[in-house]
Amino acid sequence: MAPSRAFLQRARASQPRKLLAMANVFPSTTAASNAVLASMRSQPTQSRHFSNTQRQAAAAPTHSTEGKRKPLTEEQREFLSSALRVNQAGELAATLIYTAQRGPVVGRDPHLRPLMRHMYEQEAGHLRTFNSLIAQHRVRPTALYPVWSVLATGLGWSTAMMGRAAAMACTEAVETEIGEHYNGQIRKLLEMVSEWEAQGYEVGEEFRTLIDTLRRIRDEELEHLDHAVENDAKKADPHWLLTGVIRAGCRGAIWVSERV
Ligand SMILES: [Fe+2]
Ligand SMILES: [Fe+2]
């Protein structure tokens, strides 16, 4: 069994059954995302902020919670802010890795040009999504933006210079970590939805759309992982060392970007 498939199965199996069932109820994404993003832009600025959206929607306490949204807790607001911050930083890094890799990889293997372009364009789309979301919700970008930019470009360029297999092993390592990272966020958001619904509160369309967007992006990252394995990522030498170092670096960068 290909390792990437094993990863997919493990990632999906790790989601609680109840949450998976709920996830299946959600409509599929791109058109819905665009419509809701457009409607979010038309709302007054203050109501778009995470810290205010749920709070304002929740009226004074009544005996019934029907049609009411529960205010976000401080912890939930912090989680959402750090999630958007780290996602934006990660997608910036991804676009820079592919930009740096494209020249050397395509120079040696011209048949990979469409694949490299396809993956880059998807990453650029992810970055646009999170740029938009952090602006709408007034989330501070990571203060280490310049540092991540230099490191991501260096990682992309150096692995591409080592050869196609090393470049693909870089993608395999990065996308494995990012896939797990998005899965963790999705699981947490679904837990919040589950809790609100159990208490009879309404869950905003904006919130459901965010979950759908994360699931779509997670699936695209896992698609990149599959492409990397199909294009000899496992032939990198030494594969275990290269992917181990890159995966550890990704985890470190995620940990720091969530906080700084
Ligand atoms: Fe991405
Ligand atoms: Fe990706």
Domain residue extents for the chain: 74-259
pLDDT at site 47: 35
Q: Which two tokens stand for residue 90?
A: 């990660």
What's the Cα-to-Cα distance from 99 to each of 47, 157, 182, rounded to whole Å? Answer: 37, 9, 22
| Distance between Cα 242 and ligand 1 center (Å) | 20
| Distance between Cα 77 and ligand 1 center (Å) | 23
pLDDT at site 183: 95
| Distance between Cα 53 and ligand 2 center (Å) | 30
Residue of 222, 216, 211 lying closest to 185 (CA atoms): 211
| Distance between Cα 119 and ligand 2 center (Å) | 7
Residue of 211, 217, 182 lying closest to 196 (CA atoms): 211
Q: How far apart are CA 236 and CA 164, in angstroms?
A: 8
Its pTM stands at 0.73
The per-residue pLDDT for range 147-165, each reduced to its tens digit, is 989 999 999 999 999 999 9
pLDDT at site 12: 44
| Distance between Cα 90 and ligand 2 center (Å) | 9
pLDDT at site 2: 44
pLDDT at site 103: 94
pLDDT at site 259: 83
Q: Which residues of the chain have pLDDT under 70?
A: 1-67
pLDDT at site 65: 60
Q: How far is CA 72 from the centre of its chain?
A: 21
